[in-house]
């Protein structure tokens, strides 16, 4: 059919299963073609085509509330709600968001980007419905990987005990991003392969329903027999023990099975989980055959081969960091590596293969990952936890209470620090400096290049106390390392360019912008110094005092939030020590940064060479006016 004619899901009510199969094929072909040009989360979406169509056929969105956990699998939902014409702009600046977005459509009732939030949100939405006396369905869709998250388990416990009316769709594709791990995954595997469960359960129920009403004792005994039979058929009827009716397993690519399960759930009073088995990447062999998670999310690709376009010749920062840590681990048996379900994204698969006994993929469990790292450190190990900046937010209490407070030797590799681009506001790594810098025992660093990063890695493994090393998305510069290299002096900044007129202080990727601006300013007769503030915490107070006594104005440049950022800390230091230097800060204002090309986002924010030049000149003009007035 003509997918571009779809305005809303109501047309699905009149479609039979054969027509739905044709629609599903058309949707798959469109997604493969469209995502080959824009990139995106193609694997997850190809796996839920039939499921999403079935949900929209049997429920009435937006009156019935569909809630997608994580949200990266909502492309079909967007097509069925009239947004197909915007797919050419998917994940691009001012274009279609890769996740549900309330401002895009009334059908997007909950926004997400992180996992395991859907059940708690659904509980809130369902309770609000009940309080207001409304009558609609609430349908959270959660993957088996996201179900390993502690927040999801907390919500299940509450939903079951409260008997809240909702239909939970458990999308079981045996993968979250990488292959799933843990006891929950193993339990679902047993349920997935046990076809006897529902048949025997129904036979028992039919038998009990035929029993004569001969007294409560016999009825109670029969109920106990029914409950006991569950354990003879399935090892651990997890959901029903929580008070949630279980339906499944259901073939997530069979419309008849999906329709039957959904219709049963709609008639049930109380919480229901429909266990749906799907194939991630279904219908496109490169994605379907992916066992590692490379096709979870990626850039544009060649349809015929699956080859990703635009690959860089130099290694990614993630690859460089993980390989360097692996080299150190081969020489030091205390070094172990951990990741919360991101072995592929953080490029730890080589470490996993070569030192499997010292590698831990804990699943989508950031809180557990941080505290487990602390436990390892407390027992004399040297844990390296590779974790995206955006996901570290989820383990903040553990970082404060369990790691920093006890001054444990945990080394955090904070991946995707700074702007990440297409994944948007839920994934931008711009808050970590603001929430890490107040921690009393923490050391926080960011290198200008891979040579400095290697020095920082060595420092982290010999330092006593927690250390965090930020590194960006993207690729290293490919610089030849000088030999021998001097160890990095703890807490020291580096003067990259001397200058008497003002000091531009920056770190990480924005340092190159500062250098370019200083060169241009010199051509304009302004002598700007550039300082590499590679230690964000502790700051180089000796250098700051030198700048303060010289009276030079200071311009800070950082690809992070201004509130709680390095510029704020420098301004506070100057004020606390009575220095009157003029200070201006370039960074991210108090707002979330949307999705789009990183360079375009930086331009919008004002983190550019041109703006550094402009702000430097403005700062000097203000200082000159101040001197004239005095």
DSSP labels, 30-98: HHHHHHHHH-B-HHHHHTTHHHHHHHHHHS-TTTSEEEESSSTT-HHHHHHTT-GGGGGGTTSTTS--S
Both tokens of 56, joined, read 């929209």
Assess whether 453 and 562 both reside in one domain.
Answer: no
β-strands 166-172, 494-497 pairing = unpaired
Q: Is 624 annotated as a binding residue?
A: no
Is residue 243 located within the same domain as residue 323? no
Please check whether residues 462 and 584 belong to one and the same domain. Answer: no
| Cβ pair 437, 381 in contact under 8 A | no
Within a domain: 539: yes
**What are φ and ψ of residue 371, in 5° steps?**
-70, -35
Helix and strand counts by DSSP (H, E) for the chain: 24, 17
Same domain, yes or no: 88 and 37: yes
Q: Is 41 annotated as a binding residue?
A: no
Residue 488 inside a domain? The answer is no
| 458 annotated ligand-binding residue | no
Question: Could you say which of 28, 280, 282, 382 is catalytic?
Answer: 280
| Model confidence band, residue 455 (pLDDT cutoffs 50, 70, 90) | very high
Indicate which residue of 65, 78, 282, 394 is catalytic.
394
Q: pLDDT tens digit string along 488-521?
A: 999 999 999 999 999 999 999 999 999 999 999 9
In a shared domain, residues 256 and 384: no
Tokens 């997400």 found at: 112
Averaged over 95-107, what is the pLDDT? 95
Report DSSP state, residue 489: P
How far is the CA of 275 from the CAs of 158, 199, 238, 385, 573, in angstroms? 19, 15, 12, 33, 56
Measured CA to CA, the distance from residue 492 to residue 511 in angstroms comes to 16
Residue 93, annotated ligand binder? no
Evaluated on CA atoms 191, 194, 198, 201, the torsion sign reads: negative
- List the structure tokens of 251: 């073939």
Token pair in block for residue 517: 């601006």
What pLDDT does 225 receive? 47
**280 counts as catalytic:** yes
Residue that is last in its domain, among 418, 436, 470? 470
Angle, alpha carbons 560-565-570 (nearest 5°): 140
The answer to whether 113 and 297 have CB atoms below 8 angstroms apart is no
SS3 435: helix
Same domain for 552 and 448: no
Q: How confident is residue 217, by pLDDT bands cut at 50, 70 and 90? A: low
Model pLDDT for residues 315-364, shown as the tens digit of each residue: 999 999 999 999 999 999 999 999 999 999 999 999 999 999 999 999 99
pLDDT tens per residue, range 62-94: 999 999 999 999 999 999 999 999 999 999 999
| Statement to judge: residues 439 and 353 lie in one domain | yes
pLDDT of residue 229 exceeding 70, the answer is: no
**What is the reported pLDDT for 296?**
77
The per-residue DSSP string of 441-458 comes to T-EEE--SSHHHHHHHHH
End-to-end Cα spacing for the chain: 76
* Chain CA centroid to CA 370, Å: 16
Q: Could you please report the per-residue DSSP string of 274-307?
A: EEEE--TTTT-HHHHT-SSSTTSSB--B-TTT-P
Domain count for the chain, please give it. 4
Residue 217 domain boundaries: 195-233
Residues 516 and 400 in one domain: no
Same domain, 443 and 584: no
Angle at CA 506, nearest 5°, toward 501 and 507? 150
Note if 134 is an active site residue.
no
Q: Is 144 annotated as a binding residue?
A: yes
Does any domain span residue 478? no
Residue 277: other Cβ atoms inside 10 A:
22
Give me the CATH number covering residue 177.
Answer: 3.40.50.970
Is residue 294 among the annotated active site residues?
Answer: no
Whether 234 shows a pLDDT value over 60: the answer reads: no
Residues 148 and 125 in one domain: yes
Mean pLDDT on 9-23: 97
Q: Assess contact for 555 and 612: CB atoms under 8 A.
A: yes
| DSSP, res 100 | -
- Predicted confidence (pLDDT) per residue in 549-585, tens digit: 999 999 999 999 999 999 999 999 999 999 999 999 9
**Binding site annotation covers 165?**
no
The reply to whether omega before 538 is within 30° of 0 (cis) is yes
Distance, in Å, from the CA atom of 104 to the CA atom of 479, rounded to the nearest integer, reads 44
What kind and span of H or E run contains 212? none
- Same domain for 45 and 153? yes
DSSP state of 12: G
Residue 511's CATH number = 3.40.50.920
Measured distance CA(587)–CA(585) in Å, rounded: 6
Lowest mean pLDDT across 188-202, 253-267, 425-439: 188-202
Quick check: is 298 in a domain? no
155 CB-contact burial (10 Å; exposed 0-12 / middle 13-18 / buried 19+) = buried
Whether 625 shows a pLDDT value over 90: the answer reads: no
Diameter of the chain by CA atoms? 103
**Structural domain contains residue 261:** yes
Q: Hey, what are 85's tokens?
A: 């014409």
- Specify the pairing of strand 382-388 against strand 335-339: parallel
Q: Does the annotation place 61 within a ligand binding site? A: no
Alpha-carbon gap, residue 297 to 518, rounded angstroms: 38
In a domain, 476, yes or no: no
- 284 carries a ligand binding annotation: yes
131 plus 84 within the same structural domain: yes
Q: Is residue 477 part of a domain?
A: no
Which secondary structure element, helix H or strand E, spans residue 464, and what is its range? none
Domain-terminating residue out of 170, 204, 233: 233
Binding site annotation covers 72? Answer: yes
Inside any domain, residue 306: no
pLDDT at 627: 72
Average pLDDT, whole number, for the chain? 91
Q: Give pLDDT, residue 481.
A: 76
Of 111, 257, 366, 454, catalytic:
366
Spatial contact of 314 and 473, defined as CB atoms under 8 Å apart: no
For residues 200-209, give the mean pLDDT: 56
| DSSP classification of residue 105 | -
564 is in an annotated binding site: no
pLDDT at 289: 87
């Amino acid at each position: 059919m003509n997918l571009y004619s779809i305005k809303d899901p109501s047309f699905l009510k009149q479609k039979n299963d054969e027509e739905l199969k044709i629609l599903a094929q058309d949707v798959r072909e469109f997604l493969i073609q469209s995502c080959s040009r824009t990139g995106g989360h193609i694997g997850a979406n190809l796996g839920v085509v039939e499921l999403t169509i079935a949900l929209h056929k049997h429920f009435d969105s937006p009156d019935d509330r569909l809630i997608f956990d994580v949200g990266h699998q909502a492309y079909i939902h967007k097509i069925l709600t009239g947004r197909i014409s915007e797919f050419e702009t998917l994940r691009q600046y001012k274009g279609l968001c890769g996740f549900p977005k309330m401002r895009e459509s009334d059908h997007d009732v909950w926004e997400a980007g992180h996992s395991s939030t859907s059940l708690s949100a659904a509980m809130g939405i369902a309770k609000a419905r009940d309080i207001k006396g409304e009558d609609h369905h609430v349908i959270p869709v959660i993957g088996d990987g996201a179900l390993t998250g502690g927040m999801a388990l907390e919500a299940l416990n509450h939903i079951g005990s409260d008997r809240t009316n909702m239909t939970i769709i458990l999308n079981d594709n045996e993968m979250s991003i990488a292959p799933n791990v843990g006891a929950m995954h193993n339990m679902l595997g047993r349920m997935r392969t046990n076809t006897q469960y529902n048949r025997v359960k129904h036979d028992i129920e039919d038998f009990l329903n035929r029993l004569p009403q001969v007294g409560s004792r016999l009825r109670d005994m029969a109920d106990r027999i029914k409950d006991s039979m569950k354990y003879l058929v399935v090892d651990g009827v997890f959901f029903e023990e929580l008070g949630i009716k279980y339906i499944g397993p259901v073939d997530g690519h069979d419309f008849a099975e999906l329709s039957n399960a959904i219709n049963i759930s709609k008639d049930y009073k109380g919480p229901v989980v429909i266990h749906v088995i799907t194939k991630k990447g279904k219908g496109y062999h490169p994605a379907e055959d992916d066992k590692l998670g490379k096709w979870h999310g990626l850039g544009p690709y060649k349809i015929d081969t699956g080859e990703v376009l635009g690959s860089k010749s130099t290694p990614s920062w993630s690859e460089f960091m993980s390989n360097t840590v692996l080299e150190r681990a081969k020489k030091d048996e205390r070094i172990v590596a951990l990741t919360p379900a991101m072995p592929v994204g953080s490029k730890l698969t080589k470490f996993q293969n070569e030192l499997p006994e010292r590698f831990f993929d804990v699943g989508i469990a950031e809180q557990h990952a941080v505290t487990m790292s602390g436990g390892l450190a407390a027992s004399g190990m040297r844990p390296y936890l590779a974790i995206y900046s955006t996901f570290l937010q989820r383990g903040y209490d553990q970082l404060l209470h369990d790691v920093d407070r006890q001054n444990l030797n945990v080394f955090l590799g904070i991946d995707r620090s700074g702007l990440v681009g297409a994944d948007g506001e839920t994934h931008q790594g711009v808050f970590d400096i603001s929430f890490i810098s107040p921690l009393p025992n923490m050391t926080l660093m960011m290198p200008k290049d891979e040579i400095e990063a290697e020095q920082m890695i060595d420092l982290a493994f010999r330092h006593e106390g927690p250390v965090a090393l930020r590194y960006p998305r993207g690729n290293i510069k490919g610089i030849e390392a000088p030999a021998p290299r001097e160890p990095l002096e703890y807490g020291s900044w580096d003067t990259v360019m001397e200058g008497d007129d003002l000091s531009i202080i920056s770190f990480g990727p924005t340092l190159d912008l500062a250098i370019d601006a200083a060169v241009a300013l010199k051509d304009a007769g302004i002598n700007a110094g550039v300082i590499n503030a590679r230690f964000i915490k502790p700051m180089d107070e000796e250098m700051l005092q030198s700048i303060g006594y010289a009276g030079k104005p200071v311009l800070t440049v950082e690809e992070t939030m201004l509130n709680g950022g390095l510029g704020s800390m420098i301004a506070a230091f100057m004020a606390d020590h009575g220095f009157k230097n003029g200070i201006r800060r370039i960074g991210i204002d108090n707002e979330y940064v949307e999705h789009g090309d990183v360079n375009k986002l930086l331009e919008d924010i004002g983190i550019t060479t041109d703006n550094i030049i402009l702000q430097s000149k403005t700062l000097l003009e203000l200082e000159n006016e101040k001197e004239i007035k005095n």
